[in-house]
Amino acid sequence: MAEAEGEGGPAQAGLGGDQQQERAQAEAEGEQRQGGRAERQLAVGAEQGLAADQEQGEGGPPGAALGEGEKEATVALEAGGGLFGEAAQQVVEAVEDAQGQAADGGEAAAEQVEQRPQVGEAAQAGAQAPAGGEGAAAGERGELAAERGGPGGELAAEFTGARGDLLAEGAEARLPGAIRFFLSTASAFVTGQPLRITKLAKGDRDTGNFVKPLNGKVVMVTGAARGIGAATAEILANEGAHVVVLDRPADDQPASEVARKIGGTVLLADVSDPKAPEQIASFLKEKFGGVDVVIHNAGITRDKMFANMKPDVWDATIDINLAAVVRITDALLSGDVLREGGRIICLSSIAGLSGNAGQTNYAASKGGIAGYVRNLATKTAAKGITVNAIAPGFIETRMTAAIPVAIREVARRLSALGQGGQPSDVGQAITFLSTPGAQGVSGQVLRVCGGAFVGA
Ligand SMILES: NC(=O)c1ccc[n+]([C@@H]2O[C@H](COP(=O)([O-])OP(=O)(O)OC[C@H]3O[C@@H](n4cnc5c(N)ncnc54)[C@H](O)[C@@H]3O)[C@@H](O)[C@H]2O)c1
């Protein structure tokens, strides 16, 4: 953890899709635009990031490599955006068609969607839900029918939701928790994005209890010895939870301090240890009879320009940030250690949503988390378990303290508030997702980035 860390690296907050697209547009039109200043800041940040990389003894000439990298990133984004836009449009069209025809009999709709192989499983499942008789036959809206149609159905609902449908029909009772969060200071560093309230996760948990809503709940936070994990553990405990503070054996002292302060329990384990899933599952089962909320917060950065990245650096990052999360979650679900109505919250990053120079490994791991929660949420829904990710922007922790000072300052200024977030900003968002009031939020990625990355 100590070496070469630096969340956000060169310009983690800055390489958001909007800014990249703006830059490409400005270049095409040959204009001097207002956004140019921010773009130049990004370029400076990226250059310094590369220079820092070089200081570690690797890398080619900074200027040349940066220019190429930037060009490649812009081209890739444009190409990706085009392809994605087309695919999304096809899915939306197919689901619309299917929904339109569902009232007259869903089978015809399903057939029509099948004739569009490129649209794939998502639209098919969305179309087949009404055919099952539960959606259109009951007079409910197509989105809801899609929501009940299995994994593909939820994906279809995501697309229809992307057009502005943020509250699923019948999910109104699940709204107060989210409204309360967004109206309070707990969401101070959350801005510029939608959150969807759905009926995806089953269950009628009491969503109206806002006083110590986690009373009697057992919550495990990995990587809780410091930074975001420690701040989260403290907020969760304030809301009534008993917190299991997990960190590496080498971090016994800071982990124990956190646990003592909040009346929690220490669990020392390296999450990347192949034996860790079984050990964690047994510990939680034997000591507490199970666990209610699991927060996969432990994570590392090992920044290097991709051309200079050794396989072990790639593997370690993917293993700790992504594969360990999957292994531990599997053990907790297959052993029924995570109780019904439970919560799984994973730490992604806006670097995982936008990509970032010098952080290919990190971005891949955190992008993987975003896809993982979307998928897993559909599988745990029947047990009322919600699965979400938080994608922080630049947050002031040990991880970001390792970034060279000039780049750090640029990263701070890229947020709409002109400052970095605090660990407690992320902790508040995690705590909101942990509460009964967040039953309507599942399969989503909530950004805590101060508006450094804006959009749906
Ligand atoms: N700080 C940011 O700006 C930022 C931004 C986006 C995402 N994140 C993510 O938030 C999470 C917390 O980050 P942070 O800034 O608090 O980092 P941090 O370095 O301050 O703390 C991370 C903790 O995880 C623990 N950890 C690392 N590897 C572990 C392992 N194999 N087993 C058990 N514990 C392990 C460390 O010991 C440490 O206590 C990470 O997943 C990180 O990727 C942070």
CA of 62 to the centre of ligand 1 (A): 28
DSSP line for 15-59: --HHHHHHHHHHHHHT---TTHHHHHHHHHHHHHHHHHHHHTT--
Strand 242-247's sheet: what is its strand order? 265-268, 242-247, 218-222, 291-296, 338-347, 386-392, 445-448
Query: Is residue 340 helix, strand or coil?
Result: strand
Round to whole Å and give the CA distance between 269 and 281: 12
Give the model's pLDDT for residue 240: 98
Strand partners, 391: 447
Burial class (CB in 10 A: 0-12, 13-18, 19+), 84: exposed
Amino acid at 90: Q
Q: Is the pTM of this model over 0.85?
A: no
pLDDT tens readout for residues 77-130: 222 332 233 333 433 343 344 334 333 333 433 333 333 333 233 333 333 333
Q: What does the pLDDT average to over 393-413? A: 93
pLDDT band at 308 (very low <50, low <70, confident <90, very high): very high
How does 328-354 read in b/e, with b if 16+ C-beta sit within 10 Å?
bbebbbeeebbbebbbbbbbbbbbbbb
Ligand 1 pocket test: which of 297, 302, 447 has the largest number of ligand atoms within 8 Å of its C-beta?
297
- On whether the CB atoms of residues 298 and 228 are closer than 8 A, the answer is no
Domain 172-448 has CATH 3.40.50.720: yes
Query: Is residue 275 helix, strand or coil?
Result: coil
- On whether the CB atoms of residues 52 and 410 are closer than 8 A, the answer is no
pLDDT band at 31 (very low <50, low <70, confident <90, very high): very low
Round to whole Å and give the CA distance between 307 and 413: 29
Q: What does the pLDDT average to over 160-189? A: 85
Conformational region of residue 282, where left means phi above 0, alpha means psi within -120 to 50, and beta covers everything else = alpha
Which residue's CA is minimally distant from atom 13 of ligand 1?
A: 228
**Annotated catalytic residue, options 362, 372, 394, 432:** 362
Lowest-pLDDT choice from 10-24, 184-198, 273-287: 10-24
Strand partners, 388: 345
Atom of ligand 1 nearest to the CA of 270: 32
Atom of ligand 1 nearest to the CA of 227: 16
Ligand 1 pocket test: which of 301, 399, 414, 422 has the largest number of ligand atoms within 8 Å of its C-beta?
399
Token duo for residue 139: 């007079």
Lowest-pLDDT choice from 138-142, 167-171, 279-283, 331-335: 138-142
Atom of ligand 1 nearest to the CA of 5: 19
Lowest-pLDDT choice from 138-142, 205-209, 229-233, 320-324: 138-142
Spatial CB neighbours of 7, under 8 Å, sequence gap ≥ 6? 301, 349, 351, 362, 394, 395, 397, 399, 400, 403
Question: Which residue, among 424, 423, 421, has the nearest Cα to 412 in the 3D structure?
Answer: 421
Question: Which residue, among 221, 222, 257, 254, has the nearest Cα to 236 in the 3D structure?
Answer: 221
* 190 DSSP 8-state letter: -
The values of phi and psi at residue 49, to 5°, are -60, -40
Distances (CA, A) of 2 to 167, 183, 282, 283, 300: 43, 38, 30, 28, 9
Give the model's pLDDT for residue 54: 30
Q: pLDDT at residue 73 above 50?
A: no
Which residue did the predictor score with more confidence, 64 or 120?
120
Strand partners, 291: 338
CA of 201 to the centre of ligand 1 (A): 28
Round to whole Å and give the CA distance between 162 and 442: 15
pLDDT band at 205 (very low <50, low <70, confident <90, very high): low
- On whether the CB atoms of residues 186 and 165 are closer than 8 A, the answer is no
Which residue did the predictor score with more confidence, 453 or 336?
336
Round to whole Å and give the CA distance between 392 and 190: 9
How does 166-191 read in b/e, with b if 16+ C-beta sit within 10 Å?
eebeebeebeebbebbeeeebbebbb
Active site residue 372: no
CA of 399 to the centre of ligand 1 (A): 7
pLDDT tens readout for residues 248-286: 999 999 999 999 999 999 999 999 999 999 999 999 999
CA of 407 to the centre of ligand 1 (A): 19
